[in-house]
Each structure stands twice: as C-alpha cells, then as structure tokens.
C-alpha cells in the first residue's frame, strides 16, 4: 500500500492519533448550516476580509435561496467586487452540508472553470474548516495533491471514494455525514456539457442538480451575435437539461455586461427572460456633488497622473471637499477602495477616469451605452417568422410571372433560395436549402479539391432547381455568387448555360450602392432589371451585377410591411419552427446606418452570424426583376402563335398529327401549349429588355 494510503496512517503521523478528530465546535458548525454569510466569515476569514456590503448580502441571500429551495437567477455584479470568491465559498458551503448532491460550474473557458475548482479545493483545506469538518478536510490533506492516491485511500478498511482532479472534486464518504459523496465539477460552457454525470457506488448515474454559470462569456463572444446565440442555446438546452426529466435543476448566472445585447444583457432582461429574475448591481447608483466639484477633481486627477501635481494631491483634495462632493451619493460597497484613497466614491471616480465612460458603464455599471447609430428599421426573427403565407413548399403563387434563384458558394454548404415575384414587386420565398456532398460536413475539406467540389456543388444545386417538380420549369434565372472562387464560378456557370439554353445561369457580383452603375453602353447589357443587370464581362460569358445594399434593404423592409402592401416579402409554410435557421440567416445582416454618396444610398452593416440565406434572397429577388430570358420568350411567343392558328382554322396541323400507337386522347393544341400552359397567366413583356447573345 502506498504511503499515507489510509486516513488512519496520515492521522497517526501528522496528528498523533489513529482516528478522525471530532468537530471542535459542533454548535458553530450547526449554526452555519442555514447561514451562508456566517459560514464565510467564520470558516474562510482570510478571503472575506471586508465587511459584507448590502449588495454582497443580497447576492449571498440569493445563492442561499437557490441552493436550499431551487429556482433560476441572473445577477450582474460590477467587475472586481469579489463575485467569484463569493461563488466558490457558496459552493463549498452547499457541498459540506449536503444541500446539493452534484454542483456543476461553467465558465467561459475550460481554464477559468478549472481555476474555480482549484479555489474551492484551497478553501476546503483551510485550518478553521479542518477543526469543524475533519471528515472532509483530512482525506484531501492525506493525498497531498496526488490524484493517483485517491483510488487506494481507505478508512476503517473501506474506500473513501474521494476524487481530486483539475476539473472535478468528490467529497470522501467516511462517517455518513450529509456531504459524503457530493460532487463538484467544472467545465467550459462550449465544451463537453451535454451528458455530464458521475457513477454512484451502486452503479447508478448521478446528474447535476445545481448549475452555476460564472461569467459565461468572453469579450470576443460578447461582440458576436452568433457566438452569443450559441451560448444562449447551450444554457437553455444543454445546461438546464442536465438533471433529466425527474429533477428540476437550479441555476444561477453571475455575470458582468460587456456590450449591449450580449449574453448577460439577454438573461438580465426580465421582459425576455422573466424566469431568470435578472438583477443588475451598479457600482455607483448616484454620484452626488455638483458639476463644478467633479470638474475640479477630474482636472486634478489628470494633472496628478501626468506628473504636474505631486502624488496624494487628489486624496488631499477629496478629504477637504468630501462632505460636499459625497452629499447625496449612493455607492454599492462603501468598503471598496484602496489604501491611498479616501472613500469608495473616490475609488469609483478614479476608475471612471482611468477606464473611460464606455468601459466604466459596461464593467462597473452593467449598462454599456450603444455605440451603434440608430438605424431606420430593425429586423428580428419574429418579423420573418410572422410573414408566413400558408402556401406549400415549392408552390409558386398566382400572378407571379418571374421566378429566380440565388446560390451562395461557401465551404460549409452551398446555400440556395428560390423566389417568385409579381409586377407589384412582392417577393415570395418559394423554397430554400443547403447542399453538401453525401457523408460530408463541408463542401470541400482541403484546398486540393476545392475547385472540383465547388463545380460539383453548383451543378448539383442548379440541376436540382431546374428538375424540381413544382417550380423547376418556371425558374428563369439562377445567379451563382462569384464573391468566392470567382474564376471557377464563371467557368461552371458558363458550362451550365450551354445545357440550359432557354434559361439564364450566370455568375453574380453584388456591389455597394456607390459602386453599382449600369454600363452606359447598352450594347454591353444582355438584360436590365431594377438596380441589376446582366452584362458582357469576359469572352463568351456574362456576369450579373446588382446593388446589394439596395436589394438587402428592400427584401428586409419587405418583412416589415403589412400583409397585402406592395413590395412585401413573405415565406412559404404554416409552421414557423421549420424556418428557424432561415430566419437566423436572413436577419444576420443588421443595418447600422445609411448615407447618400454620389446620389446613391450606401449602407453600413453589422454581420452577426451566418448570412448566406440573406445573400441568396437578395440575389434571387434582384434576378427576378430581370424578367424572362429572350430565348424562352421567343419559344412561348411561338407556342401562343401556333395555338391561335389552331383555334382559328379549327384544323389539326400535320406536325401535330397523332403518331402510331397514339390514341389521340390528348388534343394537339394541348401538346402545343404543354410548355406555356404551366403558367397561370402569360408572361408580361418588359419594355426595358435588351436582348443579345444567349439571352
């Protein structure tokens, strides 16, 4: 047996006794069972050196309530107020008293979560705690930080089942105390959260019954809407589902707001997340004093920092004017200031001057100001999901003579969207989707086969669109975005065009408003639409250009229009849940501001996540404004002419006489009209069409 493998051996060598000592003050231990602040003051005095403020007591009261009775809570504390220390102490209190059996802690990253476990272990080995909780402290001291000793540790001939890892602690089972076998485990929020469990001595699974989220976002993720969405889904789905169906998990999020709309800001919003009972704590509730006094102090602080005033000048000035400048002020913690400062309010003002207004409002007030100018509209997922037109997937509405598709080339998928448009400018999303090779998560895995896989993907998507049973024959134009791998897209689009001569398959380029101008030479234009055109670009080929800013704004505003209004955008189906990912992507481009440059509108966008379907929608809507390709117009015109001749003469033309074996049940005029009759109404001729080449 390894040295110190048994608890008795360790006690004999280090404490001169062979059995565990009894609690030194059992009444003190019992008094703290229902009093978390008292537990922290008595058993962890080296950490909580300052008196608890009213805000600290409120935080501990919430933690105690959640530990004992359950529920959800989101609390935003200013940076540097000891939030993590309070959390680690609260988890230790719940563990040693057995208030919770499995405490799971989550931080923004794995290393932050591991640091929380390390803090709890350090607190557990404190001398005062050892006096009253020897059955938990001594076994951890006995293994001397060596995890390999855990499996062989015994007491009275039985294994203690203690566990000490960088991310997990299991309290030993010695005397049958309430905290025996309590589990404390930590993980990064984006790590292995789903399915977290431990196996009990009887072989059953033990799942977390309490979740702690300690600053679950990074500065980078706070600025990214897509990362924030992902972390929100992990919390609501994976974390809150850890306990299973038979247990309601309790959870608390201790956070600090970094930027507007970040993860903390969302869970603190009682309007959107009322079940989390969001609570914001501010370092300074009210500054007090007068503008004149604050101006004097601010200038003195700058002079002292620049070396124009001796050190200590600010504190001396504050001492002389303290009564006046602190009159009416309200501060979170009156004990929170440094040794060279006079009061907590001075400390707060120094932080304000040192970090600047934005950082102070975010880090210490939990209320960051928005740096984004007010846009003329704001599109949400609810707006998109509220514009369902109750048509079936792939169904083209009546009186929509223009049907087009947009395809976006991306490594993770080939995104595509099919739309129909009428003369009023309404846009109906008929179908959309994502294409990947079978058995693959990405379109291409490495750069060696990139061009081949892109060509394969474009061909597969275009062929599938034209072969669709409901709208395949109605699609006139397919635009493939050439913003990535442009040469490959040009070549593939040109080769597909040779196979579909009566359609338009063309590479597309979206330009900002101040960069898009139709060519002055109309001979170079194959087709002209609304803020879009198809122009000759390279020998034997053409490119579709459009004002991407104009069309993104147009389609986004269409979601906000009332039903029946000209120019509205709508989506097929009745069930909003099936369009969850689509709604995320078409709202990913957030309009920040617009300005007029050279007579044209230029927009500034903030891209929050994957936006491929938004790009496809804008491309397809712009392509639909082009109308019908000339070759197809010519075919339908010939069909109508032949139909009129048949109806006028009342005779069967020899070209349409039944062949051998044909029963003649289908009238010849139906054969003539078989292509055109698929339209609800004849195509409307556009006066601004310019045809040429294949178009």
Q: Which of 363, 393, 424 is the last residue of a domain?
A: 363
Q: Which of 280, 315, 341 is the last residue of a domain?
A: 280
Residue 263 lies in a domain: yes
Both 457 and 338 in one domain: the answer is no
Both 635 and 623 in one domain: the answer is no
DSSP run (H or E) holding 596? strand 589-597
pLDDT of residue 117: 87
**512 DSSP 8-state letter:** -
For 489, the token pair is: 């897209």
Domain, as residue range, for 537: 381-629
pLDDT of residue 682: 34
CATH of the domain at 15: 3.40.50
pLDDT of residue 448: 62
Residue 470 lies in a domain: yes
pLDDT of residue 671: 36
Residue appearing with tokens 């009775």 = 69
Both 302 and 425 in one domain: the answer is no
pLDDT of residue 219: 85
Domain count along the chain: 4
CA–CA distance, 516 with 510 (Å, rounded to integer): 8
Both 358 and 252 in one domain: the answer is no
pLDDT of residue 404: 94
pLDDT of residue 197: 83
Contacts 24+ apart (CB under 8 A), 118-124: 118/166, 119/84, 119/85, 119/88, 120/88, 120/91, 120/92, 120/95, 120/169, 120/184, 121/164, 121/169, 123/44, 123/47, 123/88, 123/89, 123/92, 124/92, 124/96, 124/169
Residue 686 lies in a domain: no
* Distance of alpha carbon 236 from the chain centroid: 12
Residue 225 lies in a domain: yes
Both 195 and 88 in one domain: the answer is yes
CA distances from 198 to 213, 283, 470, 671, 678 (A): 20, 40, 53, 71, 63
Q: Which of 558, 559, 561, 557 is nearest to 594 (CA)?
A: 557
Residue 374 lies in a domain: no
pLDDT of residue 656: 35
Both 268 and 407 in one domain: the answer is no
Both 527 and 602 in one domain: the answer is yes
Both 25 and 137 in one domain: the answer is yes
3-state secondary structure of 547: strand
Both 146 and 259 in one domain: the answer is yes
pLDDT digits (tens, 9 = 90+) for 302-341: 999 988 999 999 999 999 999 999 998 999 888 888 888 9
Residue 350 lies in a domain: yes
Do residues 126 and 132 lie in contact, with contact meaning Cβ atoms separated by under 8 Å?
no
Residue 446, CB-side half-sphere exposure with 13 Å CA sphere: 1
Cβ contacts of 584 within 8 Å, gap of 6 or more: 229, 381, 609, 610
Both 72 and 110 in one domain: the answer is yes
Residue 607 lies in a domain: yes
pLDDT of residue 647: 61
Residue 560 lies in a domain: yes
pLDDT of residue 155: 83
Q: Which residues of 614-651 are buried (b: 16+ CB within 10 A; e: fewer)?
A: bbbbbbbbbbbbbbbbbbbbeebeebeebbeebeeeee
**For the whole prediction, is pTM greater than 0.75?**
no
Q: Give every residue of the chain whose pLDDT is below 70, as ranges.
A: 1-5, 8, 10-18, 202, 370-375, 446-448, 522-523, 538-540, 627-695
pLDDT of residue 10: 67
For 158, the token pair is: 């039985």
For 316, the token pair is: 């001396």
Q: In what order do the strands lie in the sheet with 279-280?
A: 163-164, 168-170, 183-188, 102-107, 210-214, 250-255, 72-76, 279-280
Cβ contacts of 323 within 8 Å, gap of 6 or more: none
Both 620 and 636 in one domain: the answer is no
CA–CA distance, 81 with 331 (Å, rounded to integer): 12
CA–CA distance, 381 with 152 (Å, rounded to integer): 56
Q: Which of 223, 245, 280 is the last residue of a domain?
A: 280
Both 526 and 502 in one domain: the answer is yes
């Amino acid at each position: 047996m390894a040295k110190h493998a048994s608890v008795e051996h360790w006690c004999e060598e280090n404490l001169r006794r062979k059995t565990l000592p009894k609690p030194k003050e059992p009444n003190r231990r019992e008094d703290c069972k229902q009093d978390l602040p008292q537990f922290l003051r008595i058993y962890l005095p080296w950490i909580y050196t300052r008196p608890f403020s009213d805000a600290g007591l409120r935080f501990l009261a919430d933690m105690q309530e959640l530990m004992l009775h359950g529920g959800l809570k989101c609390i935003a504390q200013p940076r540097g107020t000891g939030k993590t220390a309070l959390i680690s102490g609260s988890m230790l209190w719940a563990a040693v008293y057995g208030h919770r059996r499995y405490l799971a802690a989550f931080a923004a990253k794995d290393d932050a979560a591991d640091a929380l476990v390390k803090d709890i272990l350090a607190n557990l080995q404190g001398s005062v705690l050892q006096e009253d909780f020897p059955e938990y402290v001594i076994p951890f001291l006995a293994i001397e930080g060596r995890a390999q000793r855990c499996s062989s540790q015994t007491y009275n001939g039985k294994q203690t089942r203690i566990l000490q890892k960088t991310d997990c602690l299991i309290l030993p089972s010695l005397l049958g105390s309430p905290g025996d076998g309590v589990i404390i485990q930590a993980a990064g929020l984006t790590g292995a959260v789903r399915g977290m469990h431990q196996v009990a001595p009887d072989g059953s699974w033990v799942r977390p019954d309490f979740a702690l989220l300690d600053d679950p976002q990074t500065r980078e993720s706070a600025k990214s809407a897509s990362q924030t969405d992902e972390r929100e889904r992990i919390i609501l789905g994976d974390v809150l589902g850890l306990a299973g169906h038979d247990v309601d998990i309790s959870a608390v999020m201790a956070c600090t707001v970094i930027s507007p709309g970040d993860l903390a800001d969302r869970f603190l919003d009682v309007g959107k997340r009322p079940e989390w009972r969001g609570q914001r704590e501010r370092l300074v509730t009210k500054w007090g004093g007068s503008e004149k006094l604050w101006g004097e102090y601010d200038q003195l602080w700058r002079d002292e920092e620049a070396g124009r005033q001796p050190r200590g000048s600010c504190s001396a000035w504050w001492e002389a004017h303290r009564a006046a400048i602190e009159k009416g002020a309200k501060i979170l913690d009156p004990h929170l200031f440094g040794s060279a400062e006079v009061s907590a309010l001075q400390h707060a003002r120094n932080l304000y001057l040192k970090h600047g207004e934005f950082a102070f409002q975010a880090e210490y007030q939990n209320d960051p100001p928005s740096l984004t100018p007010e846009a003329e509209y704001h599109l949400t997922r609810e707006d998109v999901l509220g514009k369902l037109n109750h048509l079936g997937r792939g169904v083209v509405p009546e009186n929509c003579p223009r049907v087009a598709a947009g395809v976006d080339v991306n490594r993770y998928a080939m995104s595509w969207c099919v739309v129909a448009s009428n003369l009023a400018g309404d846009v109906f999303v008929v179908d959309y989707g994502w294409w990947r090779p079978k058995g693959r998560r990405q379109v291409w895995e490495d750069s060696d086969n990139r061009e081949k896989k892109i060509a394969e993907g474009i061909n597969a998507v275009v062929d599938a669109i034209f072969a669709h049973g409901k709208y395949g024959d109605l699609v006139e134009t397919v635009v493939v975005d050439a913003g990535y791998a442009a040469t490959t897209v040009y070549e593939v689009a040109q080769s597909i065009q040779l196979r579909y001569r009566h359609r338009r398959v063309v590479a597309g380029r979206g330009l900002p408003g101040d960069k898009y101008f139709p060519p002055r030479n109309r001979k170079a234009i194959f087709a002209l639409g609304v803020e879009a055109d198809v122009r000759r670009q390279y020998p034997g080929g053409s490119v579709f250009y459009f004002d991407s800013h104009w069309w993104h704004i147009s389609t986004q505003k269409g979601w906000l229009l009332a039903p029946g209004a000209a120019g509205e955008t709508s989506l097929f189906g009745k069930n909003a849940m099936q369009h969850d990912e689509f709604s995320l992507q078409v709202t990913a481009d957030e309009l920040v501001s617009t300005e007029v440059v050279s007579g044209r509108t230029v927009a500034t966008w903030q891209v929050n996540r994957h936006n491929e379907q938004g790009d496809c929608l804008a491309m397809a809507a712009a392509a639909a404004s082009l109308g019908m390709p000339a070759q197809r117009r010519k075919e339908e015109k010939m069909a109508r002419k032949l139909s009129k001749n048949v109806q006028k003469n009342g005779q069967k033309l020899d070209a349409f006489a039944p062949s051998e074996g044909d029963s003649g049940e289908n009238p010849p005029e139906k054969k003539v009209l078989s292509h055109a009759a698929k339209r609800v109404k004849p195509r409307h001729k556009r006066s601004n069409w310019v045809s040429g080449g294949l178009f």
